[in-house]
Structure 1
């Protein structure tokens, strides 16, 4: 298979049309890379007068079945984090956005900013943007939450609606796009570790009655991290243009640029029983970087033909580079000395994905039918290199730095090229009558993947072609207009993981899930309460070692659990978000047999969180005062499949205070880890890694 050059890829994206997408439905091959992109998820606003910027309680979703839906009508567990909730909690990273969501585990690798570290129901999570798949959260680009209007979290297997994904769940980021309404917002932030940040979000039409509208969003950040000799810099810019020639047609084009000069890792702390200050740096100042440079272009087309028939298509082209370099610790070599190792990564990636669908709605007697049929094409390419070599020992009582590593004169221990090309055909069907709603989905993927190992001047290719069919079926019964009971069965599939070290490769990882749940949305109050129980199984599983980034075989594993979640705005003054998760994981059959019966790593049995907001209305010359307090509990968990090291349970508290200075001007103070709780979050290579320490930020926001 020949790699497409950038210009033909871009031309194909700009020429996306129904015909182009439909041609993609026919069987073809695909190539996989650690990050790959996939099918469309359709998202509506929370409803009339119920915008995401105004409430923490969403009433409309689309990611439950692939069809736009009222949240009570979907036979899946979906949590929506609206922009209002993100703002009230002052969440500035993806992990912070998801910290108060049931079923999601975050912060299990300490203060490490290489990736978005989170799992859903015990498994690595798959991420999407506007329904097109980005890839695994682990090993991918850290997303910028300021770019998004909302974040949807789908729990459990659902390859039918989402495409190739893990059985634990998926996260869909919904991009800010031109709406045609006037929007003017700017902000400035000061914070811990010399943090300085400026941002803006502006949009409008090109004049009264104009069919064209625009939106510009961006931020620039300059800062340091809590560990010495670490940067936390970023620049982000996004521009969107929309054309609405009629009330039935919308065409939009969005470009964004993300650049990061960040903080790769704390280098770790000696595992000798002592507790160290988080600012202690035992790496190398000249070899401590995290670079991301990514460009993305997205084209969307929506058209309503009338009589229940509508068409939608989305295409995205992404190109970028990324990499990191740092020094991490090994074991002790003396009373006050530890060994060290250089670890580095460099990658280039290029992705194209096109999705198109037809949606038809009609009534058949007293049964309402909705049918969606769609096709998808994706072509992904990634080059990846990893370096690992010994560094000089260091005295942790009196650090003396010795310099960095010249990657140009050092051979990588792994040098690979990953390719995936896939063509997919999917069908979603929903029948609803009286109080009963039946949903079924079927998807067929034709995938051709290849991984080339570049070793000592030789190319060692491993490739495979396979077809996968995934099924989803769900049933919802409305016990009352406010209360629904649902049950579902869903399957998942992801392409094979290749490994020359472990000798496995071509068999895809498959998953299945059974789920039963309740959803309650009371009248007279903006609130949503959900409860679900589930049984997940994954076959042919591999687990990514967070230290080496290499996939290691597990075989078959199972997670059973319970999730409870509540989002409620009791009145104009009091609101809260609460969640509890119970997970019981087990390695049913490991490839070696030695880990049979063990629990999955980074999968605590118990997790709980609560965030409460209380608004003190202004009086006289005093503006509104918004008080927020949150608590997060993470139970103990193992650090690896061997179950030899366990992390203790911990409580972490967060807080936020907002003050309305004037009608359009507000000041907000956010503090994460309020009491500066310090505990070990991960152990690896005889070193310990602490959870993120206390950080504060003060933001002044103005709209007009």
Structure 2
């Protein structure tokens, strides 16, 4: 599970294994006194009323998130989005959106962007036909992502994750580095991996649709032993497809296997391996400005048009319940990733009067990146009740090492006639303009404390210190050692058993490159949450004021980083998820953001401008209705959704701006038999077309209409 070599710079595998083992033993050893003290205290004072442990799921504990209902409901009641201990969504003093596997399947979400596009405060698809990364922002900033509470990295520049691997996707709005570590103040996303169950289950499906899309997938598991102590799960997906533009490709191979061992009802150990392979194309190359061509027009180079991912991930998750309210958890993950892309794209600052000249300038752009990461976390959770006070105390430590080699290529490409494109071929003798090897080691300790008084008032405190050890070769930055302390304070008060008010202050810190000041943030937020007893639902309203400093932004044509001193976002989020009846579900969201760049004396003239790709208004609604079966006819479920994306600036200088647009989606599911369903999903059903990105050199349109049909068998 530890790192292998990376360009000759990493430590050898045995040495790295010893480091990881030593760290894990140290973390466990440092927590044993707390375990002993708690058990001794319980024995010595019989009058102390300790809170009973809540067992959630077979072999689970109060420190383990129960996702068993995620395939049956769109409304989640527990979340780990704010920290490493599961909390009641109603009394968590933060704005959280949980997208369950049921919602993901019902809406037919094929990508993370599609998963989160009905979430308040989230904008997606702002780079149009650029398919390299998961392009979405939370409250105006690209988020950090995590898997089972362990850091992956920023969505920008990362890997396109596979949603079929997860039971749920948890979206936290706002700053919170005390929860999982490094983050930006706009928010963060935690992916919760599918793990083996102590029962037999399964599904297999086949899909087909637009752009020669062909796909099959499976997800099944069972007990290996008769006493349910050992279980397995196997999940996979195979896709072969084109994209909406010529000379495109969108292929994927995904396989994930897991084993869970439960030697007792109080202990579980899970091992998960997954492989993600993608073979696609990065972009259509853009379209000339002030033209109105079809989406399938291609102005890149067929011979230099690739986007590949090869990632292997190994994860271990250990839980043990000591009894008397004390639990221990440790998680570790090793991943090795190789990615690369290369393409030609238009960059020609055409004006409306320049279209008589049909030749447009282009550039070649490419990248190759090899990354290895090992991350391990260990923490104890102690829960107790004293008279009218309930306490939850979590203390832990984390170690994360990330090594990467990154080469970038950029040079001029031959111009192309957009009225009669003749392709020139791949570049010859392309050499990198930058080659950077980076080593980053992060060590952290953290404390999370929840105090609940009289089952009404909850006080939540988070403290964390991160130590960053950074080293870069190939740049002038060299080395850096940085220590950063972040904190969070939240209050939640249950006005009634169904209605809670909350307020919070939270900070964030993100790791910089060597020689660069860390990106920091802070947020103030107040809100209300309503969860009726009559039916499953959660309605959240919040107002926030967040500030982000030392921001790295990317501007065309090279998308190299530039720094902005400070950006302030003030906004409102409204969101509702309701299962009104057994047959009617509704998801509704609205977000408002007042964005302002605060950089007095800036020579670029950004001061007082709006931050790029941040719409002032966003809204969405999704509703589904199930018509119960009658006789030979099975249940039929009809779904319809609408997404409004307000206008936003394409650049920080605010010289170019999009138009607002409304996009409609739909779904239909027919239950052929008890375990057999036929489903049709349509995205952008009216083929609405608008400019999602104008980088000053080309247009990139929003995704066009896609229709997918799926036949699914479950057991």
The answer to whether the aligner puts 1:420 opposite 2:440 as a matched pair is: yes
Displacement of 1:11 in angstroms is 6.8
> Which of residues 276, 295, 299 is equivalent to 2:312?
295
In 2: Cα distance, 1:103 partner to 1:235 partner? 32
Match of 1:240 among 238, 258, 262: 258
In the other structure, the counterpart of 1:519 is: 529
- In the alignment, is residue 472 of structure 1 matched against residue 494 of structure 2? no
| RMSD, matched Cα | 1.9
Partner of 2:541: 531
Structure 2 partner of 1:79:
97
| Contact 1:43 1:63 survives alignment (8 Å) | no
- Secondary structure in 1 matching 2:478: strand
8 Å Cα contact 1:484/1:518 also seen in 2: yes
- Contact kept, 8 Å, 1:14 with 1:299, in 2: the verdict is no
C-alpha separation in 2, matches of 1:548 and 1:295: 30
Match of 2:373 among 351, 363, 366: 351
2:590 to 577, 580, 586: 580
Task: State the Cα distance separating 1:13 from its structure 2 match.
Answer: 5.7
Residue equivalent to 1:364: 386
Name the counterpart of 1:565. 575
Correspondent of 1:219 among 237, 240, 245? 237
- Equivalent residue for 1:491? 507
Calculate the TM-score normalised by the size of structure 2: 0.91
Say whether 1:317 aligns with 2:334: yes
Task: Tell me the residue number matched to 1:385.
Answer: 407
1:618/1:307 CA distance change after superposition, 3 Å: same
Q: What is the number of residues matched between the two proteins?
A: 672
Q: Deviations over 1:99-153 (max 9, x none)?
A: 0000111010002210000010011111000000100000000100000000000
Q: Deviations over 1:318-355 (max 9, x none)?
A: 10100101110021586211111111010000000010
Displacement after TM superposition at 1:19 (Å): 3.2
For 1:193-232, what aligned pairs fall within 5 Å after superposition?
Answer: 193-232=211-250
* SS of residue paired to 2:367: strand
Which residue in 1 is equivalent to 2:270?
A: 252
Aligned partner of 1:447 in structure 2 is 468
Q: Deviations over 1:573-605 (max 9, x none)?
A: 111100000000100116536210001001000
Pick closer, same or farther for the CA change 1:584–1:648 going to 2, 3 Å. Answer: same
1:610 corresponds to which of 621, 631, 641: 621
Q: Deviations over 1:448-502 (max 9, x none)?
A: 1122226xxxxx452211111101000110000000000000000112246xxxx
Task: State the alpha-carbon separation in 2 of the partners of residues 15 and 703 from structure 1.
Answer: 44
- The answer to whether the 8 A contact 1:42-1:131 is kept is no
8 A contact 1:65–1:75 mirrored in 2 = no
Between the aligned partners of 2:478 and 2:388, the Cα distance in structure 1 is: 54
Matched, 1:95 2:106: no
Structure 1 residue 397: deviation in Å?
A: 1.1
Instruction: Give the match for residue 170 of structure 2.
Output: 152
Cα deviation, residue 18, structure 1: 4.5
Secondary structure of 2:110's partner?
coil
SS in structure 2 of the partner of residue 123 of structure 1: coil
Change over 3 Å in CA distance of 1:24–1:385 after alignment to 2? farther
Q: C-alpha distance in 1, partners of 2:445/2:263?
A: 30
| Unaligned 5+ runs, structure 1 | 26-40, 455-459, 499-504
Q: Which residue of structure 1 aligns with residue 301 of structure 2? A: 284
Q: Deviations over 1:608-629 (max 9, x none)?
A: 0000001111111111111000
Task: Show the counterpart of 2:713.
Answer: 702
Instruction: Provide Cα deviations, 1:25-78, integer angstroms capped at 9, x if missing partner.
Output: 9xxxxxxxxxxxxxxx976225xxx70000001111122244311111100100
TM-score of the superposition, structure 1-length normalised?
0.93
Is residue 630 from structure 1 mapped to residue 645 from structure 2 by the alignment?
Answer: no
Output one character per residue of 1:660-697: Cα deviation in whole Å (capped at 9) or x when no partner.
11111101001101000111000124110000010111
Shift of 1:16: 7.5
1:26-105 matches, within 5 Å, as: 44-45=65-66, 51-105=69-123
